Amino acid sequence: MHPAQPGVTFPAMGTATQTSPPASIAPPDRIALIDILRGLVIVIMALDHTREFTHASGWAFNPLSPEGSTPLLYATRWITHLCAPTFVFLAGVSIRIQAINGRTGLPLARRIASRGLWLIFLELTLIGFLWSFSIPFLQFWQVIWAIGWSMILLAGLIFLPPIVSLIIGGVIVVASTASLAAPPDLLGPLTGIIFRGVSILPSFENAAIFVVYPILPWFGVMALGYGAGHIFLSPRRSHLLAIIGLAMLAAFLILRLPNLPGDPRPWAPHADAFWTIASIFDVTKNP
């Protein structure tokens, strides 16, 4: 038996030492792929907003329509369709990564719900004011509003297995088109807030509310992101995401080319081949 040395301790017999896993195998707090994708989306959004505020006749016609538009103008508008779905989906992915990293249960639910409330507050106050710089002001309830409500709703799903979130999100996204058939007054003003965007005229003077991003369809996108978030931690994520992406594009063409139900605007052939292809991809931006 070796004598004890100063400053050195030995575990008692029958006990096991606990060591933390090496940092190399711990789930990362941030994933470069997600940050890069978010950065690209911000650049695209800046491009779209620049087009709207600097193009003199940008509000006079639809840049996605062949009447008055050009292929370049069409491209700068169409590519922005990817922005909001990407941001909302990645928000769900990020919340799932937080859960995998150990922040689960009530602390995580409280964290995302409080942040969601804060986003809604900003949309209803500061962001609304910045649209017109007047009081009372026009209210445009857009993607910040939708992300806020989606985070609050997702706070209730994190107590369930992620597969539940994936299924619920998929059902909501697939069924969102069916909600367009609902009568506009089905739930009064709530129809537009929950299912589809409509303009709502409140009772006070010189103000209006425009619900651009309804709550339920965008919550479905975030729930999908949460349910599929583990894919972004897989060593084979590039391969898996490529397969899923190609499958989704194939499903889109299968539904879109014969003008099957799925978008309220059917595509139509044009004399110019570009505008025929553009019509196929000109789908409704917001649910």
Q: DSSP for 78-144, please give it.
A: HGGGGHHHHHHHHHHHHHHHHHHTT--HHHHHHHHHHHHHHHHHHIIIIIHHHHHSSSS--EEE-HH
The confidence score (pLDDT) of residue 199 equals: 57
pLDDT at 20: 41
Q: How many residues does the chain have?
A: 287
Check residue 262 and give its pLDDT.
75
Measured CA to CA, the distance from residue 197 to residue 107 in angstroms comes to 33
For 200, phi then psi, to 5°, come to -120, 130
- The pLDDT value recorded for residue 228 is 94
> In this predicted structure, what is the pLDDT of residue 205?
56
> What is the structure's pLDDT at 150?
96
Instruction: From 162, 166, 155, select the one nearest 112 (Cα to Cα).
Output: 155
* 3-class SS of residue 269: coil
Q: Are strands 186-188 and 139-141 parallel, antiparallel or unpaired?
A: unpaired
Per-residue pLDDT of the chain (287 residues; tens, 9 = 90+): 444 444 444 444 344 333 344 444 445 667 888 889 999 999 998 888 888 777 777 677 788 888 888 898 899 889 999 999 999 999 999 999 989 888 878 999 999 999 999 999 999 888 888 877 777 667 788 889 999 999 999 999 999 999 999 999 999 988 877 666 666 667 666 777 777 766 565 545 556 678 888 889 999 999 999 999 999 988 898 899 999 999 999 999 999 999 987 787 889 999 889 999 999 999 887 76
The pTM of this model reads: 0.82
Note the helical H segments in the chain: 32-54, 71-78, 83-100, 105-122, 128-132, 143-157, 162-175, 189-194, 215-227, 237-256, 273-281
**Maximum pairwise Cα distance, the chain:** 93
| Alpha carbon of residue 140 to chain centroid | 18
**Sequence-ordered list of residues with C-beta below 8 angstroms from that of 203, at least 6 positions apart, any chain:** none
Res 28: pLDDT: 60
pLDDT of residue 27: 55
Q: How far apart, in Å, do the first and last CA atoms of the chain sit?
A: 75
For residue 203, the model assigns a pLDDT of 47
Angle formed at CA 132 by CA 129 and CA 134, multiple of 5 degrees: 70
What ranges do the domains of the chain cover?
Answer: 32-233
Contacts of 219 by beta carbon, 8 Å cutoff, 6+ apart: 146, 149, 150, 153, 154, 169, 172
Q: Please give the pLDDT value at position 139.
A: 76
